[in-house]
Structure 1
Amino acid sequence: MIQRKTQTSDYWGNEFTITPDDLQYLSTLLVEDELPRSAVELGDALVLYRCQQEEALIERAMSQGTPYQPQRSYEENEQVVFPALGYRVGKVIGIRPGSNPEYGAFQVIQVEFESGRKREFAAELASDHPLNHEPQASAVEDADLRSPEELIELYGTQVGDKLGKVLESEPDFICLAGKWFPKDLLIKVHIGHLNLAEAALDISGGGPSPTEDLLGDLELPEEISPQLRAFSLNYALQEDERFDEVGPAGEVLWFLRRLEPEAVQSTPLHLQYEPLEYDPASLTSEMSALEQQLDDEWSDIVEPDEVTVPVTVVLTYPHWKSGTLCLSKRLAHVFPTGRTHRIRFTFIDGDTGEEMPGWVVRERRYVYGLDEWYRKRDMLVGTYLELKQGEKPGTVVIRPRSRRSRREWIRIVLPVQGQLTFEMRKQLVACDYDELMIVAESDPQAMKQVWANVHERGLSLGRLVTEIFPELAKLSPQGTVHAASLYSAINVVMRTPPGPLLAELVANETYVPVGDNYWVLHSSPDGF
């Protein structure tokens, strides 16, 4: 049987490399079809191409000479084909008797290949040998061979993955929305076309608009396939800083960058986090479990294997103030994913059905679009929010965990002479909340001054803990402060994840753990 490399896993694995000939073939294929394709689709095409190449090579080689088999006899000047050597063709230039008692009488032929290299091979060998099986000229005649379609099923994905990495380093190919096409063969989209696209988006409030909606006014050549027209326009829009691609995975949507919300273009003040160095090893397992539970977007925690739906999150002060939600590893499962830094989607109020525009800001780990909704629904810091994916793609259903409104004693933050103080007051609460995290703001304008004061003075996390811990401790008869309450309070004036805060408590002998993540001041009676 003729040996075909394409039938082996080694060929498609470590041995497989993308050649310039492969890239030329794929470029021609893309141009002929006028259809941009994904790396996986191109990988499938490449598997088929390699199979066709091998069959063509076999047929050409087999027509040039006698297939080599050790059992055969050969004559000088006879052309011989060596399937095991990649179907190389050589000419017999000498014959001599072989000498090996183990194999009995046989001949040795000397063969010269086209490269000029000479090698010797056994002939008229009586013993059995794998190469003595009669070769077939065509793959179709061998029922044991896998078809190209079967090989695509087995190896297409891994070939596509390898091809994708190669294409990323090829300046002649460009990728948009997961599709590839030769750069030099795109339709010319000039500045006039782009100005028309900007005007169309401006009329629609900035977007988002699919490429197809923008194409209608541009009058690109009709003889070109719609897919290539869309691809060419997408590339031109991508290269123009006026436009922002904001579609979720599998969908291309465009938005005018200048009309995007300010909180999408730059990080809101209360979400700005300067990483703080600390030793995670200093945290106990109990503290690490709390950090996992708090699920801060800047915590370096393990991504959960499974996420219970709906996902419940506790609203923290920085996000309440900014009209955002954290994009933590757990909550990220709910929101649309995509290739771009910003993704436009739709929030749906799970109680009223109201739709609200939302933005996933991936690189800065937050989701924007809830400022008005928080105020309308009388949300407080510490409110439990439940989220799940909507029935329609690109939608997320959000609702507060409901309960009857009533007046309750909760923590109120009071700015006094530029510093934070806390006290307990009765206030109407409309939603279920985390008792450890709840905080209400009494004077928003004064809070702005406190925030500015803290950052102008460059107060450290340790200094803030020193100032705020006693304020929280006075609210408890035992003088205890839960780490989650301190985390919630500190984030009123400084953005920090739980890790550095917990490490500060551990490192400072002023604070003493009393179990279940509660702490007391060392000077208090309960601290001994």
Structure 2
Amino acid sequence: MLQRKTQTAEYWEREFEITEEDIEHLYSLILERNSPVSTKELVLEVIRHRCQQEEERMRAELSRGVIYQPRDSYEVGQQLVFPVFDYRVGTVVSIRPGHNPEHGEFDVIAVQFEDEDKPREFAANLKTPHKLNRGDDDGAELWEAAHLIPPDELYEKYGDRVRQLVVEALSRPDSEFVSYDDLWMLQGLLAEVHVGHLNLAEALIEVKGQPVTVQEILAELDLPEEIPEGIKEFSLNVALQQDERFDLVHGRDGELWFLRRMEPPEALSTPKWLVYTPVRYNRAFLSVELLQIEWELDDEWTEGGISTDSASLVPSTTVVLTYPHWKAGTLPLSSRTRSFFPPGDHKRGVITFVDGRWGQRFPGWIVYEDRYICGLRDWYEQHKLPPGAYIILERTADPNEIMVDFRPRRMRREWTRVASVEDGRLVFRMEKQPVACEYDEHVLIGEGDEAALEALRVQLAEQNVDIAELLAMVFPELAKLSPQGTVHAKTLYSAINIVRRCPPGPIFAALMSDRSYREMGNGYYALNVEA
């Protein structure tokens, strides 16, 4: 059975290209509906339209002649349709006898196609079977839908490439199409949203002091009543999207608009302490014990750190506040914390934190792409939380609010490691520091001269010092603080992250692949004097 081109992978994956006719068809579709249309609907419509076009072309061509079949006899002047050549029509211009020991006697017909200079020859009156011979239904099976893949299944199979081409075509600078959040509309159908409307939107957000929905803004604008509500919302969303004052964020209840100037700087650009440049390493070096420690640290950049479905059922979770997040006033959006925050496809989301100690509410900003939640700097400072503190996230009755807490205890001065800089090197010493919360003793490292540490961080980045070199720098310094000369893997991770953002994996792989270090058990390592 011959297959229609639109039923093949070859057509959709290689031959298909968007034409002006496709664009005009989509233009008419949106014009007729007079409402925003999703990208998926447009792509499906293109696929349906191409299938329909092929069928119409087939019917038109087949009406001009009979379907060529090698078993049939033909006359000079007769018009034939060749499905195998995309239903092209040709005229029989001559007939001669043919002979082949395998097929016996048959005719050879010369067929002249409209767009070719020379005729082609084909077998006719053939007595032996041939794959181009059809049934006795005169091509009726070409119209049977039972064997055809429907457009929605073609979309599932080949929609990705078609979608890419459709979006590219509709997004051209001279396009009359306008998009917002995977919806499309015609520029000429949009409601007029002028600068006065946008100024009112800015004032509304400023007065409320929090992100608002597009419906809340529309309620304050005087747009013509005869315009459908869906077009009003789409038009306002497009106008807000094109104005640099406004920022689209994601909340539990959907999309919200806010003012960029009211967002914390760390929500708009990633704090320098959190910027991670991926490092290639061999995870096969990580022992079972180190994999367990890696899981405990729950770094947001750990490979395979994806939340599970069961995580959404957990009422609370505890994370260790690492130095980079302490400096940035952030928390990691990691496998353990991700389910506590609204999922989102936008760059940023917003949530309300509730202080578990004092009950105060304050906004938190979720930066999905760079995997962190910001807005906690003041909270850390108010409660004097150090790096290494245990931070608790707890769900509340309101899905838009997350309680953030720590484990308090009586203030006392503890011997802790403190990082500083000497002769361009990262060094450590033991000092007594006031601590009023429970913490992970392996992760807690105090900060000495802040300016010197920052200068060293910049210097090491400029010199492109790798993880192995950093490990060699900090290990002896940390080992000298222990009577046994040992250092815990968590402490190495914490120390290196003072001057370079890195998840545990590359650090642990460098530790295990270097004979300069030997494993002592329970996560501790020592310098190998025999190396």
**Which TM-score band (shorter chain)?**
0.7 to 0.9
CA distance in 2, matches of 1:527, 1:114: 87
SS at the partner of 2:247?
A: strand
TM-score by length of 2: 0.77
TM-score (norm 1): 0.77
Q: 2:146 aligns with which of 144, 153, 159?
A: 144
Q: Give, in angstroms, the shift of residue 414 of structure 1.
A: 6.0
How far 1:451 sits from its partner (Å)?
Answer: 0.8
Tell me the equivalent position of 2:236. 233
Distance 1:428 1:212 in 2: 46
Moved more, 54-63 or 459-468: 459-468
The answer for the alignment partner of 2:165 in structure 1 is 166
> Whole-Å Cα distance in 1 between the matches of residues 104 and 489 of structure 2?
87
Contact 2:13 2:161 in 1 (8 A): no
> CA separation in 1, counterparts of 2:101 and 2:248?
76
Deviation at 1:312, TM superposition (A): 4.8
The correspondence for 1:294, drawn from 281, 293, 297, is 297
> 2:430 aligned to 408, 417, 422, which one?
422
Letter aligned with residue 314 of structure 1: V
How far did 1:241 drift? 1.2
- What CA distance in whole angstroms lies between the structure 1 residues aligned with 2:355 and 2:29? 48
Q: Aligned equivalents of 2:481 and 2:274: distance in 1? A: 29
Residue among 174, 195, 200 paired with 1:196? 200
Residue number among 303, 328, 331 corresponding to 1:325 in the alignment? 331
| Unaligned segments of structure 2, at least 5 residues | none
Q: 1:259: how far off?
A: 0.9
Counterpart Cα distance in 1 of 2:372 and 2:107: 78
Decide whether the 8 Å contact of 1:211 with 1:230 is kept in 2.
yes
Q: Would the alpha carbon gap of residues 436 and 352 (structure 1) be closer, same or farther in structure 2, given more than 3 Å must change?
A: same
The 3 A distance-change label for structure 1 pair 378 and 336 is same
1:70-127, CA deviations, whole angstroms, 9 ceiling, x for partnerless residues?
3333333233222332222222222333333433333333222222453233333333
> Structure 2: how far apart are the matches of 1:135 and 1:3?
16
Counterpart mapping for 1:322-401 below 5 A? 322-328=328-334, 331-332=337-338, 335-347=341-353, 356-374=362-380, 379-385=385-391, 395=400, 397=402
Per the alignment, do residues 281 and 84 of structure 1 end up closer, same or farther by CA in structure 2, a change over 3 Å counting?
A: closer
| Paired residue secondary structure (2:121) | strand
d(CA) in 2 for partners of 1:74, 1:140: 22
Tell me the CA shift for residue 416 of structure 1: 9.2
Q: For residue 4 of structure 2, what is the aligned residue in structure 1?
A: 4
User: Distance between the aligned counterparts of 1:504 and 1:102, measured in 2?
Assistant: 72
> Is residue 2:485 matched to residue 1:479?
yes
5+ residue gaps, structure 1 = 442-446
Q: Aligned letter for 2:41?
A: E
Counterpart residue identity of residue 127, structure 2? A
Work out whether residues 78 and 92 of structure 2, in 8 Å CA contact, stay in contact via their aligned partners in 1: yes
What SS does the corresponding residue of 1:229 show, helix, strand or coil?
Answer: helix
SS class of match (2:449): helix
The answer to whether the Cα contact below 8 Å between 1:387 and 1:396 also exists between their aligned partners in 2 is no
> What is the CA-CA distance between 1:189 and the residue it aligns to?
3.5
Q: Which residue of 2 aligns with 1:245?
A: 248
Partner of 1:64: 64
CA RMSD of aligned residues (A): 4.5
Cα distance in 2 for residues equivalent to 1:322 and 1:246: 20
Paired residue secondary structure (1:98): strand
Which whole-Å CA distance do the structure 2 matches of 1:501 and 1:134 have between them? 73
Aligned to 2:122: 121
Q: Is the 8 A contact 1:34 1:227 kept in 2?
A: no
Cα contact 1:64–1:79 (8 A) shared by 2: yes
Q: From the superposition, tell whether residues 141 and 498 of structure 1 become closer, same or farther in structure 2 (CA, over 3 Å).
A: closer
Shift of residue 367 of structure 1?
A: 1.0
Does the 8 Å contact 1:39/1:160 carry over to 2? no
- Report SS of the residue matched to 2:150: helix
Indicate the larger mover: 354-363 or 64-73: 354-363
| Aligned-partner residue type, residue 135 of structure 2 | H
SS across alignment from 1:227? helix
Partner residue, 1:444:
none
Q: 1:351-371 CA deviation, whole Å, 9 max, x = no partner?
A: 999864221223444211334
Letter in 2 for 1:151: P
Residue 320 of structure 2 contacts residue 389 of structure 2 at CA under 8 Å; is this kept in 1? yes
In terms of mean alpha carbon deviation, does 70-79 or 5-14 score higher?
A: 5-14
CA distance in 2, matches of 1:341, 1:259: 16
Structure 2 residue identity aligned to 1:196: L
Q: 1:121 to 1:364 in 2, by over 3 A?
A: same
Instruction: Select 1:133's aligned residue among 117, 132, 135.
Output: 135
Q: Go from structure 1 to structure 2 and tell me whether the alpha carbon gap of 1:222 and 1:140 turns closer, same or farther (over 3 Å shift).
A: farther
Residue equivalent to 2:154: 155
Q: SS state of the match for residue 90, structure 1?
A: strand
1:242 is displaced (CA, Å) by 0.9
Whether contact under 8 Å (1:349, 1:398) holds in the other structure is yes
The 1-side partners of 2:433 and 2:220 are apart by 60
* Percent of residue pairs bearing the same amino acid type: 40
Amino acid corresponding to residue 199 of structure 2 in structure 1: N
The alpha-carbon distance between structure 1 residues 20 and 200, as it changes in their structure 2 partners (threshold 3 A), is: same
Aligned mates of 2:340, 2:508 — CA distance in 1: 28
- What CA distance in whole angstroms lies between the structure 1 residues aligned with 2:221 and 2:159? 34
For residue 74 of structure 2, give the secondary structure of its aligned residue in structure 1: coil
* Contact 1:76/1:93, CA 8 A, preserved across alignment: yes
SS of aligned partner of 2:250:
coil
- CA, structure 1 residues 99+139, in 2 after alignment: closer, same or farther (shift >3 Å)? closer
Q: Which amino acid aligns with 1:214?
A: I
On the 8 A contact 1:59/1:138 being kept in 2, the answer is no
Query: What CA distance in whole angstroms lies between the structure 1 residues aligned with 2:98 and 2:421?
Result: 105
The amino acid across from 2:368 in the alignment is R
